[in-house]
Structure 1
């Protein structure tokens, strides 16, 4: 990714030399007034020009009656006029040479077809002029280091957290929540309708900002999901944390869903799978977003999910361990050596194998120091969930603060993350922990979730750049689909096309009995009885051809070898070109009941063999692959190669909407596809 591209390098947008407010107003509460007020606070850093067609004075500043009358072309123009006047204002600011435009006004794509057409025209005008547009329907942007508040109603302390939001209210609300936590912003932007600049563009830009350490993005609509995740990967390669706040993604719009694959995969499936595969922090609510930020700002972050739960009582220890497991953390049993060390520290403790119940030291946080030191020295965990009623740590306020500092140092020096749950959050030690950025909560559920969301991320794979896609121009009937996927690298059973009973008999003789007979032309052949298995001889074959011809009037027949394999498993492999995420590959439990089992995983295509194996082994039926109760181990490597071939096929053909093989029959030696379907986009 070119980090010096005009998209990524938006320094002029966040620190412009000059700004013009088009539609400046003298009426408090109007956008034209509030934007002018905020921008004028930074007038020592840049020139601020106010444009009002009536002229006069706004906020003690003389206004200009037109854009053309400005003394210089503004680097940034903020459009605050009614929707009917936006096009004229945009023409004017582009004519004088503005490089960036922020359109606050609503009433475009979100208002209907005409508004959408006007929004498209705005985008084309801006791009033709070599400029960039934020919005429309947004609440602007903010840069603390540049003293630039191009938004209304708020002023926030500086910090190192960046906010990118499709919702202005979410951006403003998150900013205020961070302020209550004594955290500040480096940058913020409300992207609005994303007519031009998108969430992905701003993730790239924030990644280049030296003042931004944590990038948060609120996303309601995924337009180019692949590019967004490419931007996330790039940002993390530059050492920036990225947190996605994304409510449940809806179903894809415009997908044909003609196959099992298309009907069983939603945008939410894709989003959840990609976040898991790339280990991207994705939360679905503001509460979890704040937990993730607090975990990321903690003095130490866990390297993995292993946690020690340490408490002052059996009940709180049990609840803490349960909260850790619910948060997808691991509570490993301690080694014999660590158990022995803890037993010497607390001989009366009934449980110290993890969770740890340090009975007899309730209300005395100082007594936990030695136990935490032993746990830290063992290297057996990467984080500690400390829970209980901690009081009277050292008898004095200063003594409690010293104990808190000691515990913080024990954890930090050993690389262990620390999160605390206690009802006594107002105690001096807890206040000290909070000042040190150690997360302190009322409940273990929050403390555990904070550890998981704040840990260092370890992607299990990376996105593979797709080759230039072409148009698939071959036949997509059943025989054509089989041929195309066989050419792509998937092994198929023998099959011959037959127009009538005589040709079917000749085909069966060539293949060898028993055979399978399929009536062609029906989308879901098994649903209508168009598939007959295990035909033993010519007489039976001819009778079945006549029967299917009478019932279904098919376009023809496919005569195929009868595939049987000892201990075989039926799988589905397929792909969908999703409107929001592009080409994807799907692996699922197959057969006629695939939509009932709904055991499937999905990834952005193409993928490599290592990723294919990981997808296969994440299925619920994966224990069957290694052999179960005497059954044979299947040829999983051959399945992985077929999945890779499928992923490359869907990625390489831009007009393939869906593709599916179901079933793929997999045994100890062979991996053979016996059915195929390709659906082209309209």
Structure 2
């Protein structure tokens, strides 16, 4: 990425604000920078005469013997602009902005002005208000605290949470390949920091913590590029509460939270969102392992029947399969184990490990060679023997080596009762995921097996010129019909019912939710009944425009919602779900980034719990799923082509055997015009 190399392997580093006081940021930045002094020039600028780890501080950048490539800013806000001007004048190419509060100290817009000044000079700024960066491969350490070298890259908008993830990764034996604290993202963005990891050899998995996503579409492209590079992204974010739902005016808005949009973005880019730091590190172990799961078939191996049965239940709860082994494989395993052993899957060693510890390795090896499993989950006491009996350490480490050799070609996950033993360290050294909870192991294995494929996300947006917004259901109907959404024959009520067939439906054009307000009457058998209904409705609701449509009287109909909205970060998203007046009760929806293809729309429908209603539930007929998919495509196109449209809802779309009909619709426009 443009100018990002300076944050990975600079030729020289200057820490401005270096301090000998261990309680200050300047000390930790200086101390970390000095660790890489054998690879690059390291200069410290601070209180004259101060000495940090044997290196004397200079009083000014002008005292440096050569120009710094990368400058860490750890000075009071008022001093930052002057230091930046000095460094730019010397030819600095990058800045790590630790200092916070520029706008507060120097006035609104000071941070933006600083970023613009740096960019105008052809340099880059990480931060400000960040906690620094670290790169294991280049021994660049400009951050608070310490890191254990490993294979997980961490890009975090919250520096402290990023450091916490680093600690968890170290505890899991995973370690950190690169750490980037984004801070306020005045210049360097999350997408840029992530894209720079595509060619980072030490990185096998990527953790992203973000509170806002900026240009979400660019981020999705980056997710996809990293997935194709074999470095899947795990996303941790916040904002899944009910506040955003409560503010929504349409069913679609109430049914699509920030998290559901993020999930759609992750799906499009081949990333996975998780709910907690612990889950992130659990999954990172699975994704950074030498071999991914080949599929969903899992062999469970334990040295206790209860642990094996529980592991099998948990695995199946995570969408994995624990299929019975063939008679041939079960016989080969029985030949290795005591008569009381279970060999059908799950496998219970029945004390074989205690008598001969190599039984663990031999069973795993036979299963791996059988072709009957896509992964092995080993749960129980293995990894604890050496901790309880040091005389067994060497043997257990040797067995761990054999298991790790299998794990090079087949996913092997270990849930162990042990803690801190040599055998577990040997497994982790070889990249084998080791867990201290079987539920964590099963969950991570299930998510790894379900990892979205590497694929480029939806087609690019091609917006058209906006048109003046038109109010009401009739205008929404005409707009959507222009995109190919079918509606029943209808007319404005004042035009009469010529050409329409009874029974009729009468609708108050201007109401958003007609059923709740009494703004719709169905089953009107003739013109006389229609006239009476219109007069009564006008008495209750007042004057306004009314719409008459032919009533859909088809049998075997399922009502589906199709809608979408414009997300501030990710742009247009399309939603499909179980429709009608009870949509918020059932909350059966799927969200995707728009526009979508017919194939993608069909996949969305398969993800609904109500999908079986569309394909012939209880001997019922199969419905027009293809026509419904085209409605989803049409709504996604409208949102993608019309940037003035903020929200669309077609609810319900009545899906029958021969086709679909939309019988209510809302269109919301950006700005004060609102929903129509």
Fold conserved (TM > 0.5)? yes
Distance 1:422 1:254 in 2: 42
Distance 1:408 1:102 in 2: 40
Q: Is the 8 A contact 2:474 2:509 kept in 1?
A: no
User: In 2 relative to 1, CA 614–547 (structure 1 residues): closer, same or farther, beyond 3 Å?
Assistant: same
Matches within 5 A, 1:428-577: 432-455=426-449, 457-459=451-453, 462-477=456-471, 478-498=473-493, 500=494, 503=495, 506=496, 508-577=497-566
Alignment correspondent of 2:590 = 601
Distance 1:30 1:636 in 2: 63
User: In 2 relative to 1, CA 336–488 (structure 1 residues): closer, same or farther, beyond 3 Å?
Assistant: farther
Comparing 20-29 with 189-198, greater Cα deviation is found at: 20-29
Alignment correspondent of 2:235 = 244
Alignment correspondent of 1:145 = 137
**Post-superposition offset of 1:633:** 0.8
Distance 2:393 2:130 in 1: 48
SS of aligned partner of 1:585: strand
* Ranges in structure 2 where 5+ consecutive residues have no aligned partner: 672-676
Q: 1:364-400 CA deviation, whole Å, 9 max, x = no partner?
A: 4433455434432331211111223458899965444
**Post-superposition offset of 1:565:** 1.9
Q: Is the 8 A contact 1:167 1:218 kept in 2?
A: yes
Q: Is the 8 A contact 1:382 1:417 kept in 2?
A: yes
Q: Is the 8 A contact 2:151 2:177 kept in 1?
A: yes
Q: 1:622-672 CA deviation, whole Å, 9 max, x = no partner?
A: 111111223211110111111111112112222221111111110011111
Distance 1:614 1:491 in 2: 21
Matches within 5 A, 1:313-328: 313-328=304-319
**Post-superposition offset of 1:428:** 6.4
Query: TM-score, normalization: structure 1?
Result: 0.88
User: In 2 relative to 1, CA 595–204 (structure 1 residues): closer, same or farther, beyond 3 Å?
Assistant: same
Query: TM-score, normalization: structure 2?
Result: 0.89
Distance 2:36 2:266 in 1: 39
Alignment correspondent of 2:375 = 383
Two-structure CA RMSD over aligned residues (Å): 3.2
User: In 2 relative to 1, CA 13–428 (structure 1 residues): closer, same or farther, beyond 3 Å?
Assistant: closer
* Ranges in structure 1 where 5+ consecutive residues have no aligned partner: none
Q: 1:331-366 CA deviation, whole Å, 9 max, x = no partner?
A: 223345444544565584475432233435362443
Distance 1:116 1:259 in 2: 37
Q: Is the 8 A contact 1:252 1:267 kept in 2?
A: no
Alignment correspondent of 1:218 = 209
Distance 1:578 1:443 in 2: 37
Q: Is the 8 A contact 1:348 1:360 kept in 2?
A: no
Alignment correspondent of 1:185 = 176
User: In 2 relative to 1, CA 148–361 (structure 1 residues): closer, same or farther, beyond 3 Å?
Assistant: closer
Q: Is the 8 A contact 1:339 1:352 kept in 2?
A: yes
Distance 2:358 2:487 in 1: 68
Q: 1:595-636 CA deviation, whole Å, 9 max, x = no partner?
A: 121111101111111111111111111111111223211110
**Post-superposition offset of 1:180:** 4.4
Matches within 5 A, 1:13-52: 13-25=7-19, 27-51=21-45
SS of aligned partner of 1:207: coil
User: In 2 relative to 1, CA 355–254 (structure 1 residues): closer, same or farther, beyond 3 Å?
Assistant: closer
Do structure 1's residue 354 and structure 2's residue 345 form an aligned pair? Answer: yes
SS of aligned partner of 1:657: strand
Do structure 1's residue 257 and structure 2's residue 251 form an aligned pair? Answer: no
**Post-superposition offset of 1:108:** 5.4
Comparing 184-193 with 523-532, greater Cα deviation is found at: 184-193
Alignment correspondent of 1:623 = 612
Do structure 1's residue 121 and structure 2's residue 113 form an aligned pair? Answer: yes
Q: Is the 8 A contact 1:251 1:267 kept in 2?
A: no
Distance 1:377 1:534 in 2: 67
Alignment correspondent of 1:679 = 668
Q: 1:298-357 CA deviation, whole Å, 9 max, x = no partner?
A: 343312222111223332221111222344422223345444544565584475432233
Distance 2:129 2:428 in 1: 38
Q: Is the 8 A contact 1:425 1:440 kept in 2?
A: no
Distance 1:426 1:27 in 2: 34
Alignment correspondent of 1:664 = 653
User: In 2 relative to 1, CA 454–464 (structure 1 residues): closer, same or farther, beyond 3 Å?
Assistant: closer
Q: Is the 8 A contact 1:302 1:456 kept in 2?
A: no
Distance 1:528 1:338 in 2: 66
Q: Is the 8 A contact 2:71 2:94 kept in 1?
A: yes
Q: 1:126-152 CA deviation, whole Å, 9 max, x = no partner?
A: 334433221111111122333322223
User: In 2 relative to 1, CA 180–562 (structure 1 residues): closer, same or farther, beyond 3 Å?
Assistant: closer
Q: Specify which of 602, 605, 609 is matched with residue 613 of structure 1.
A: 602
User: In 2 relative to 1, CA 443–37 (structure 1 residues): closer, same or farther, beyond 3 Å?
Assistant: closer
User: In 2 relative to 1, CA 262–174 (structure 1 residues): closer, same or farther, beyond 3 Å?
Assistant: closer
Alignment correspondent of 1:291 = 282
Q: Is the 8 A contact 2:353 2:360 kept in 1?
A: no
Q: 1:458-477 CA deviation, whole Å, 9 max, x = no partner?
A: 42864113233234314332
Q: 1:517-551 CA deviation, whole Å, 9 max, x = no partner?
A: 11121221221111111211111111111112221
SS of aligned partner of 1:551: helix
Alignment correspondent of 2:92 = 98
Distance 1:252 1:22 in 2: 43
Q: 1:558-579 CA deviation, whole Å, 9 max, x = no partner?
A: 1112122220011110111111
Distance 1:71 1:411 in 2: 51
Q: Is the 8 A contact 1:252 1:579 kept in 2?
A: no
Alignment correspondent of 2:359 = 367
Distance 2:498 2:143 in 1: 78
Alignment correspondent of 1:579 = 568
Distance 2:420 2:522 in 1: 73
Distance 1:122 1:166 in 2: 19
Distance 1:211 1:446 in 2: 25
Comparing 356-365 with 286-295, greater Cα deviation is found at: 356-365
**Post-superposition offset of 1:265:** 0.8
Q: Specify which of 399, 403, 409 is matched with residue 399 of structure 2.
A: 403
SS of aligned partner of 1:206: coil
Q: Is the 8 A contact 1:419 1:450 kept in 2?
A: no
Do structure 1's residue 130 and structure 2's residue 122 form an aligned pair? Answer: yes
Provide the aligned length of Structure 1 versus Structure 2.
663
User: In 2 relative to 1, CA 102–83 (structure 1 residues): closer, same or farther, beyond 3 Å?
Assistant: same
Distance 1:623 1:482 in 2: 29
SS of aligned partner of 2:58: strand
